[in-house]
Structure 1
Amino acid sequence: MAAPCSVPPEVLVPATNQTLELALGTCVALNCTVRWAGTGQCQHSPAWSKDGQWLSSGSSQDMVWFAPNASEQLLSSVLQLNLTHDSDFGVFTCWVSNATATFTLRRAAVAGHVPAVLASLLVLALLMLVAGLYVRCRLNVLLWYRNRYGEMEINDGKLYDAYVSHTSAPDDHKFVQFILKPQLENLYGYKLFLDADTILPHAEPSAELVMTMSRCRRLIVVLSVAYLEQDWCNHSFREGLWRLLELTSRPIFIVFDGRYREIQHPAITHLRQHRGAVSLLLWREGSMTPSSDFWKELCLALPRRVSLPGPVGDPQTRLQGDKDPMLTLSSTYGDSGSDLHPDGDLGMVLPSRTACSGPPPPRLAPAPAPAAGMEQPQLRDAQGPEIQDSDLGSRNYSVRRDFYCLVMGDV
């Protein structure tokens, strides 16, 4: 007959070796439960060890009881641990005769805010980098997009890209003639019309201004101290601004940084209040550099340039094939020899008198009789093309209807 304790006990809890990750300061109870068959003649005593070192016998709470069929006995040993130091963690083993149960306790990583703080700082740094790139490259991106996908203002009957209004003061004259005009015309290829006279002498646009503005796509005003001393700027700038907005879309006003912050003028206040309807550009100390933001903002306010291969001239005008007599300053329209270019006026200076002040243009004289020995086809080639009213209706000159009324009123 076998001895009463010859059969080793069976470990019920834990079923397998356990690995627990616990935070520092945690209290944990390790439960080791075994059973064996037999009567009360066989007794087992549990023992605990940590990292191979035996713990005292009173470190655990033990309890023994019989199964309901009274043929099996059960033993439960509970080890209470308070993990307050790193040395409290380790490998704990429960020994009951030849049966063992192992518990491996590891310290869990402290769940803190360091990763979240680092992630927030990284996102903030990326946002600041994007904001810096936007501020630094915004104008370049806008210029690239406008030059590639922007609308081309062609076939509109305009001969100049901008009408530049300034005073005859020495500083304004030098700025326009030696800085603004060379930069826009030579470097960017724009075509300017310069005017040193007041554009609103009586707060009302003159006939000459209406006629000239009808041939320009934009208006540039060099708003210097001398310009602000004009009567219409001091007394009726608000009304004059609305008159200019009727003649051109989004006029461009250039002010100077050294005097802009010191000037307490009503015109400056009105321009600040109407930034959505006008373009207010600030000339600073570093704006002389061609790559400065001033020139980029000015190019964005001006129309998109169109460059075509061929002879020198305004490509917008050459695309039209313009032969409208209203754009030709010579009264003998039929005489092609008096025209500088067979495709139309390329931007000759207007006469000082307005369109309505002088006598009407002389009518074309009938062609002389052909000389003896001259063939009829040669005479037909020498004559200019006949002007038809239908030709004027086929062109889009709605932007210059005021100019048409001035020219066609007394003819």
Structure 2
Amino acid sequence: MADLCSVPPEILVPATNETLELALGSQVTLNCTVRWAATQPCQHLPAWAKDGQPLDTNSSQDTTWLAQNASEWLLGSVLQLNLTHDSDFGVFTCWVSNATATFTLRRVEAAGHAPAVLAALLVLVLLVLLAGLYVRCRLSLLLWYQNRYGELEINDGKLYDAYVSHATAPDDRKFVHFIVKPQLENRYGYKLFLDEQNILPNSEPSADLIMNVSRCRRLILVLSVAYLEQDWCNSSFREGLWRLLELSKKPIFIIFESQHREITHPAISLLKQYRNAVTLLVWRAGSMTPSSDFWKELCLALPRKISSQGTTGDPQTQLQEDKDPMLILHSSYLDSGGDLHPDGDLGTGLRGYVFGSPLPPRLRGPRTPMASAASTTEDTQLRDSHELDVSDLGSRNYGARTDFYCLVTEDDI
């Protein structure tokens, strides 16, 4: 029996030296279990040490029991620790006779939820700021992008940027003439064609309406209560809307917030259904401010603004001296240096003198005094001559003329 007790016991738990990473404030239980072969219990007393310093014998709970085969004995020693200070961490050693087991306790920071919560709050605040910045600056960014990279709508034969239709009511006339027109023409450089006549007096658009709208790049309708009281708005607004969509690219409708609450006209609900085909703007109490969203949305619906030094409005209109090309007698903005066609008369200089009007201006440079003098002499001789040979006018081919066209009515004359 003494020989069996002299044999060192076998450590069952832990199988190898353990290293535990624990957070401050946690609890841990260190279990040291050994086994030896004997029919009677031996006097094996476990001992614990921390960092080489022995611990109190009462610090652990020891238990001895007989194995099921009745030929082995087991001894278990359990050490419970509360890790409340940094000094509670270290290397713990369990001795049972000549058998040794080691536990290494290391401190790690507790994985709390505070960093995750702070990160989530930071992301939420950032999203709210971005959303507010987008709502506040969205129209300004879109307007900047349009004015810088938008499609240019010039040299398309249009004279005006927008055709404005409004009712004859005094409030509508004041709104258009004293608010819309000065703001768009003086501040943004657009040119408007104002019309207070009934835009669709019949089921079909009139010839005047088609001609006037064709001169404009956009169509603006001021939908006031007085405007909606027109016959075509009450009887056939849906059909009229289809006609307007055929005449103009995405027409613009302006309604007043103060009247919108009182209007029960079906036209408003119909326009909301066609939001993708039309632009519906609401004039509110704060829209009078030049930097309000109303003007930004209106400019987004209008053609791209063209910056022109020293001039306002459409450069094409400026070149045409703000006149209708149908009534222009001298197209000085065109290149009249040579004949476009052998049968034409652009190079003869005849057209100006037949109608009794001066020649188009000629470009003269500071280094061409002789040419200038010769040109002046030639002009003087032509003006002094009273007889012009017009016998061949009937044989000329005027189908080749591209500098003007004549389409006037008695009212225009």
Alignment TM-score, normalising by the size of structure 2: 0.67
Shift of 1:308: 2.9
Q: Percent identity?
A: 57
What residue number does 2:78 align with?
80
What residue number does 2:181 align with?
181
1:390 is matched with which residue: 385, 400, 409? 400
Conservation of the 8 A alpha-carbon contact between 2:255 and 2:283 = yes
Shift of 1:291: 0.7
1:342 and 2:332 matched: yes
Structure 1 residues 280 and 305, CA gap change in structure 2 (3 angstroms): same
Map 1:232-271 to 2 at 5 A. 232-271=232-271
1:276 aligned counterpart, secondary structure: coil
Shift of 1:266: 1.1
Conservation of the 8 A alpha-carbon contact between 2:60 and 2:78 = no
1:128-166 deviation digits (Å, cap 9, x = unpaired): 222211111110111111111110011100010001111
1:47 aligned counterpart, secondary structure: strand
Map 1:7-18 to 2 at 5 A. 18=19
Distance across 1 between alignment mates of 2:242 and 2:180:
25
Conservation of the 8 A alpha-carbon contact between 1:155 and 1:317 = no
Structure 2 residue ranges without an equivalent (≥5):
1-7, 37-41, 68-72, 335-350, 357-376
1:151 and 2:141 matched: no
2:22 aligned counterpart, secondary structure: strand
Structure 1 residues 63 and 21, CA gap change in structure 2 (3 angstroms): farther
Aligned length: 346
Amino acid at match of 1:308: S
Alignment TM-score, normalising by the size of structure 1: 0.68
Map 1:12-411 to 2 at 5 A. 18-21=19-22, 28-31=29-32, 45-49=45-49, 53-56=55-58, 59-61=61-63, 78-81=76-79, 86=84, 90-91=89-90, 92-95=92-95, 102-105=102-105, 113-309=113-309, 314-317=314-317, 327-329=325-327, 333=329, 336=330, 342-343=332-333, 378-379=381-382, 388-392=398-402
1:328 aligned counterpart, secondary structure: helix
Shift of 1:194: 0.7
Structure 1 residues 151 and 77, CA gap change in structure 2 (3 angstroms): farther
Conservation of the 8 A alpha-carbon contact between 2:255 and 2:282 = yes
Distance across 1 between alignment mates of 2:60 and 2:150:
88
1:236-290 deviation digits (Å, cap 9, x = unpaired): 1001111111110100000011111221101111111111110000000000111
Moved more, 309-318 or 75-84: 75-84
Amino acid at match of 2:173: H
What residue number does 2:348 align with?
none
2:327 aligned counterpart, secondary structure: coil
Shift of 1:202: 1.5
Distance across 2 between alignment mates of 1:62 and 1:316:
108
Structure 1 residue ranges without an equivalent (≥5):
1-7, 36-41, 66-74, 345-362, 369-373, 398-402
Over the residues paired in the alignment, what is the CA RMSD in angstroms?
4.7
Amino acid at match of 1:342: S
Structure 1 residues 231 and 52, CA gap change in structure 2 (3 angstroms): farther
